[in-house]
Amino acid sequence: MSGRAAGIALLVVLFASFMDLLDATIVMVAAPAIARDLHAGDAQLQWMLAGYTLALGSGLITGGRIGDDFGRRRVFLTSLAAFAVASALCALAPSAGALVAARVLQGLAGGFMVPQVFGIIRSSFAPAEMARAFGAYGAVQGLAAVAGPLLGGLLVEADLLGLGWRTIFWVNVPIAVVALVLGARVLPESTARQRARLDVVGALLAATAVVLVLLPLVQGREWGWPWWGWVLLGAGLLLGGAFLAHEGRVAASGGQPVLDPALLRLRTFAAGLAASALFFGAIGSFFLTLSLYLQLGTGRSAWDTGLVMLPYAIGSMITSGIGIGLAARAGRALLVTGSLVLAASQALVWVLVREGADPGYWWLALALLVGGLGLGLAAPILVNVVLAGVPGRDAGAAGGVLSTVTQLGGAAGIAVLGTVFFAALAQPGSPSAAGLPAYGQALATVMPWQVGAYVVAAALMLLLPRAAAAHHA
């Protein structure tokens, strides 16, 4: 491709990536407004976030394989169009249930779209330019982290055309239309040299198992923890075992499973999967509960909530360059340090909110800044450090599994710790009726679990290779 065409192609896939990353965070700030407008219950709020990340994670590996076989440009543009339609359905949702369903569709479209981004970058740029392209992708990730809470707060507060929170989804539509028009003109088509048979049964088994496990965890409190909820949970665990058995058979027959069980026998990779699930599971649940505490507890506006969260993103941007620069020499040490700094940040939040009073902007900003500094040290290099312990021939498959587990960990964190938060509120059936002391206590109840997640993640990271691998994006 010519330099100009390659630049436009990069711009198109970065626009799409920005939308996907933005939608993972922007709903956090808008959640209380959505709950008020649609009369959403606690579990429905959790599903609005967990459903998106669950569907996104479920689609990553399968989406990548479909793009490899049928053309990354074709799958990317189709998924982008589906993402725009799903965003419009989110904006038009007449009820909380409809919004949850639209969010699942949106996440699934994102799960098929994101893997094509990496394939298109590889096929569009020479090796010397590829590093800069992936660097631009990393910069977009940082920008989305900053923009999500701020843009969400701004759009909710601005109430453009009386649409309120719905504008956080409408904003995706014009961006997607522009990206579609440009992408149809400049994106190159590419496929893998060898076509792989899709492991549809494995993908369905994995997705069903995860849903059966998460469903009673999220809905159990509203259901009253019935016996059949525990049966669903047990069925999910059994189905997870059936998934691993099926994957072993696929691998033994020479096929390409969603998850090769042989990878789990690698101690460093298994530890990396567990550490990633805990690490990212704590992040999503924290921002949901923090947003509810700030808006429904302390009475802050959506914009003020975004401003409170801003130092977290700023902190991560400050240290991410340090982490990337030192990853090849001290990747494991940076991961452990980052996780422990995050644990310290959550402990500080616990101290600030446990008495039930509003600690004020600057104390909260300080605690979140510390957390962001820890995130920047660990998050950008976690994948490459984990993959350093995987043989080169398996790096691609392992990277897809790791990305999927990261998303599923985020969904599980929202399900489990979100449930802990809502269970601790004084008025479980009507969170908006609870006062600041109740929200402070609920958030304080979650914080020890947050601290524990990061401490355990740090312990697991001690099993990882000392330094990061070469770029596997």
Of 388, 302, 283, 272, the C-alpha closest to 345 is 283
CA nearest to 52, candidates 99, 96, 7: 99
DSSP letters, 175-231, are HHHHHHHHHHHHPPP---SS-----HHHHHHHHHHHHHHHHHHHHHHHHT--HHHHH
- Output 365 or 71, whichever has higher pLDDT: 365
What does the pLDDT read at residue 379? 85
Query: What pLDDT score was predicted for residue 473?
Result: 43
pTM for this one?
0.85
Q: Which CATH architecture has domain 264-473?
A: Up-down Bundle (1.20)
Q: Is 70 exceeded by the pLDDT of residue 139?
A: no
Find out whether 32 and 299 touch, Cβ atoms under 8 Å: no
Q: Which residues of 179-208 are buried (b: 16+ CB within 10 A; e: fewer)?
A: bbeebeebbeebbeeeeeebbebbbebbbb
Question: Of 139, 178, 195, which is closest to residue 12 (Cα–Cα)?
Answer: 178
The pLDDT value given to residue 53: 87
Q: Mean pLDDT throughout 357-385?
A: 91
- Average pLDDT score over the chain: 86
Domain 1-185, CATH number (from 3.40.50.300, 1.20.1250.20, 3.60.20.10, 1.10.8.60): 1.20.1250.20
Higher pLDDT, 469 or 294: 294
**Quick one: 300 exposed, middle or buried, by C-beta within 10 A (0-12, 13-18, 19+)?**
buried
Please provide the DSSP assignment of 352-376 as one string: HHTTSS---HHHHHHHHHHHHHHHH
Q: How far apart are CA 37 and CA 282, in angstroms?
A: 27
Checking 347-352 for CB contacts under 8 A at 24+ apart, the result is 347/447, 347/451, 349/290, 349/443, 349/447, 350/444, 350/447, 350/448, 350/451
Residue 459 has a pLDDT of 96
Return phi, psi of residue 262, to 5°.
-60, -30
How does residue 41 score in pLDDT terms, banded at 50, 70 and 90? confident
Instruction: Round to whole Å and give the CA distance between 222 and 423.
Output: 10
* Mean pLDDT value across residues 386-412: 81
Mapping DSSP to helix (H, G, I), strand (E, B) and coil, where does residue 471 land? coil
Positive or negative torsion for Cα 138, 140, 144, 146: positive
Mean pLDDT of 386-408: 80
Q: What angle do CA 268, 271, 274 make, to 5 degrees?
A: 150
The rounded distance, in Å, linking the Cα atoms of 288 and 303 is 15
Q: Which of 199, 184, 153 is nearest to 310 (CA)?
A: 153
Average pLDDT over residues 390-394: 76
- In the chain, pLDDT over 90 holds for what percent of residues? 34
Report d(CA 207, CA 214) in Å as an integer. Answer: 11
pLDDT at position 81 is: 95
Please tell me the distance from the alpha carbon of residue 172 to that of residue 170, in angstroms, as a whole number. 5
The torsion angles phi and psi of 139, rounded to 5 degrees, stand at: -65, -40
Share of the chain above pLDDT 70, in %: 92
Whether residue 190 contacts residue 72, with contact meaning beta carbons closer than 8 Å, is answered with yes
Please give the residue that has the higher pLDDT: either 88 or 59: 88
CA atoms within 13 A on the CB side of 277: 18
| Res. 77 pLDDT band, cuts 50 70 90 | very high
| Residue 471 pLDDT grade (very low, low, confident, very high; cuts 50, 70, 90) | very low
Residue whose structure tokens are 């985020």: 410
Residue 426 has pLDDT above 70, yes or no: no
For the chain, give the longest Cα–Cα distance: 63
What is the predicted pLDDT for the residue at 470?
A: 54
Q: What is the pLDDT of residue 131?
A: 62
Average pLDDT over residues 149-165: 86
Provide mean pLDDT across the span 14-22: 82
Helix (H, G, I), strand (E, B) or coil at 401: helix
For the stretch 161-211, pLDDT in tens is 888 899 999 989 998 999 899 988 888 887 766 666 778 888 889 889 888
pLDDT in tens, 449-465: 999 999 999 999 999 98
> Comparing C-alpha atoms, which of 149, 140, 144, 80 is closest to residue 114?
80
pLDDT level of residue 434 (50, 70, 90 thresholds)? low
Residues 438 and 297: their CA atoms lie apart, in Å, by 8
195 phi, psi to nearest 5 deg: -80, 135
What is the model's pLDDT at position 219?
Answer: 84
The answer to whether residues 251 and 262 touch, using CB atoms and an 8 Å cutoff, is yes
Dist CA 154 CA 362 (whole Å): 20
Among the residue ranges 2-11, 277-286, 335-344, 382-391, the one predicted with the least confidence is: 2-11
Judge whether residue 431 has pLDDT over 80.
no
Average pLDDT over every residue of 406-422: 88
